[in-house]
Amino acid sequence: MKLSQQQKTEKFVFLFKQRFGERFLIDHPLADYTTLKVGGPARFFVECHEREDIIDAVNMALDHKIDHFILGGGSNLLISDRGYSGLVIHIATGGFKIDGEDVFVDAGYGWEALVDNCCKNGLAGLEELAGIKGTVGGAIYGNAGAFGQAVAETLTQAEIFFPGQKPRWERNNYFAFSYRSSILKQTKEIVLRAQFHLSTDSPQDLLSKQDEILALRSRKHPLQDFSAGCFFKNIDKAEEPHGKLAVGALLEKVGAKKMQVGGAKVSEKHANILINSGTATAEDIKKLADILKDRVKNEFGYILEEEITFLGD
């Protein structure tokens, strides 16, 4: 007998509750899982603390034809006010191990914690990336970077997984890293674990450097506000520092810092950072972003590309 859609959903819910227990939730609020603190609920939600949890959750969603979204630290994410009608799989794995100059770390491990722990253990190579929000998996997915340095420079390999297939390790060159991007954005493969190769240095010197970077970021970034970091990607331009034209400078020239839509406004510290002043909706932020894009296009001819991901219905 063919099952109705309601019966299929009930079967899916039963099996997920059986596998994940209290870690599987229905109509679960998502705003607090993002740095912007906006967005509606997930129809289904599961928190994964182990590598095997992630694999099972993804494969079960595939088997039941349920759309799913992988959520890490939520630092580059804008969720619709209406929420998401599929399954959100929250990666909260936290394994971390040092082996000589190599670091092995789970995808759900916090990026800031990774940088800090490497500095404390005298491992150099990540200190320039201090203060970047999110998780290791998200940092690899988007090739996170700052000050001309990026994740791609120290990643040796990562274990990745595609729904319905066996996990496998791939070397750095597989990921086809580019500015704020990797091949994972096309293949939709999921990072499970990663290995970084670093070099040795004085913990005192590295912690001092980390503090310098954090102080620099605090002068430029609104650390106390709800934001997703830089909202738009910088523009490729060979003659500019690091080969990029800073979008923040263009936005400042079009008066971005004076702009606000509802509870969403542009940071007074950095014109490429949109913040939730406390009452913003996702729609407020989206409308403000669209206005900024139009202004830059009309004034300079550049079409801005979002650095963040939009999720929802």
Domain boundaries, the chain: 5-91, 96-204, 222-299
User: Tokens for 25?
Assistant: 């939730």
pLDDT over 90, % of the chain: 88
Evaluate if residue 8 carries a pLDDT over 70: yes
Write down how long the chain is.
Answer: 313
Q: Residue 2 pLDDT > 80, yes or no?
A: no
> Residues 175, 140: contact at Cβ < 8 Å?
yes
Phi, psi of 102 (to 5 degrees): -105, 140
pLDDT digits over 118-138, tens only? 999 999 999 999 999 999 999
Output the CA–CA distances (angstroms, integers) from residue 312 to 13, 83, 86, 142, 290, in the order listed.
20, 5, 9, 20, 17
Phi-psi region of 131 (alpha: psi -120 to 50; beta: other; left: phi over 0): left
Exposed/middle/buried for residue 22 (C-beta within 10 Å: 0-12, 13-18, 19+): exposed
**Token pair for 173:** 């060159």
Could you report the per-residue pLDDT of 62-75, keeping only the tens digit for each? 999 999 999 999 99
How many CB atoms neighbour CB 164 within 10 A?
9
Lowest mean pLDDT among 51-60, 106-115, 243-252: 243-252
pLDDT in tens, 13-51: 999 999 999 999 999 999 999 999 999 999 999 999 999
Average pLDDT score over residue span 170-184: 96
AA letter at 66: I
Check whether domain 5-91 has CATH 3.30.70.20, yes or no: no
How high is the pLDDT of residue 6?
84
At residue 73, the pLDDT reads: 95
In this prediction, residue 262 carries a pLDDT of 97
Q: CB–CB of 137/108 below 8 Å?
A: yes
Start-end of H helices in 99-202: 111-120, 136-141, 184-187
Section 200-227 average pLDDT: 89
Other beta carbons less than 10 A from residue 217's beta carbon: 17
Q: Tell whether the model's pLDDT for residue 3 goes beyond 80.
A: no
Structure confidence by residue, pLDDT tens digits, 255-266: 999 999 999 999
Topology alike, domains 5-91 and 222-299: no
Q: Any idea which of 4-8, 73-77, 211-215, 282-286 has the lowest mean pLDDT?
A: 4-8
- Beta carbons of 240 and 246 less than 8 angstroms apart: yes
C-alpha 225/C-alpha 278 separation (Å) is 8
Q: Are 10 and 64 in contact (CB under 8 A)?
A: no
Q: Is 3 left (phi over 0), alpha (psi -120 to 50) or beta?
A: beta
> At 199, which helix (H) or strand (E)?
strand 199-200
Q: What does the pLDDT read at residue 147? A: 84
The mean pLDDT value of the chain amounts to 94
- High-pLDDT (> 70) share of the chain, %: 99
Q: Is the pLDDT of residue 219 over 90?
A: no
What is the architecture, at CATH level 2, of domain 222-299? Alpha-Beta Complex (3.90)
Q: Is the pLDDT of residue 222 over 70?
A: no
pLDDT for the residue numbered 220:
76
Q: Does domain 96-204 have CATH number 3.30.930.10?
A: no
* pLDDT surpassing 70 at residue 1: no
* Distance between first and last Cα of the chain: 32
State the pLDDT confidence band at 105, using cuts at 50, 70 and 90. Answer: very high
Q: Are 298 and 287 in contact (CB under 8 A)?
A: no
When pLDDT is averaged across residues 227-241 and rounded to a whole number, the result is 89
Q: CA 306 to CA 35: how far, in whole Å?
A: 16
Q: What would you report as the CA-atom Rg of the chain, rounded to the nearest whole angstrom?
A: 20
